[in-house]
Amino acid sequence: MTRPSEGHAPSWPIRKTPAHFPLRRALHHTSIIYLTVCTEKRKPILCRPECHELLLTSWEKADQWKIGRYVILPDHVHLFCSPACFDSTSLDNWVKYWKTIVSRSWPNRNEQPIWQKSYWDTELRRGQSYDQKWRYVRQNPTRKGLAATEEEWLYQGELNVLNWIG
């Protein structure tokens, strides 16, 4: 590998999909993942009561991971999740599983495909980052002009309390 000449940035390869790093697992340590999953071509199809219910049902069936707080926006979902147990399935397999459940039960077939192939994930490093990310995520609907206040947005919630231990 040659060193770039001074004043020039190195030429890094451009990623077409996000890198998914393995989950750091340790006894007596909770891993919380901040996850963003987008619809195919960013189609604004998620903010309908029946779609919200379908997502909740799929997450309940995909019980290898626990969902904490979440916000559903028209073309993507932000959620926080954590393995349900030490030997839970991989994040990748879990996301594929619940996306498949949603796709198979989607109420409007002409909106298929529903999901982009991949997702964006970040493993949070401390409890404070969970609270900071949640404040940011919860403000998305108001920043985008979809709701006047955070409390008014119908497509959000918390399924499980994800306590930070570590």
User: Which of 12 and 142 is assigned the larger pLDDT?
Assistant: 142
Tokens of 146: 């979809």
Cβ-based burial of 45 (10 A; exposed 0-12, middle 13-18, buried ≥19): middle
Query: The whole model's pTM is what?
Result: 0.82
Name the residue with tokens 């926080």.
80
In order of their start, the domains of the chain are 33-158 (3.30.70.1290)
- Reported as a single tens digit per residue, the pLDDT across 94-131 is 999 999 999 999 999 999 999 999 999 998 887 778 88
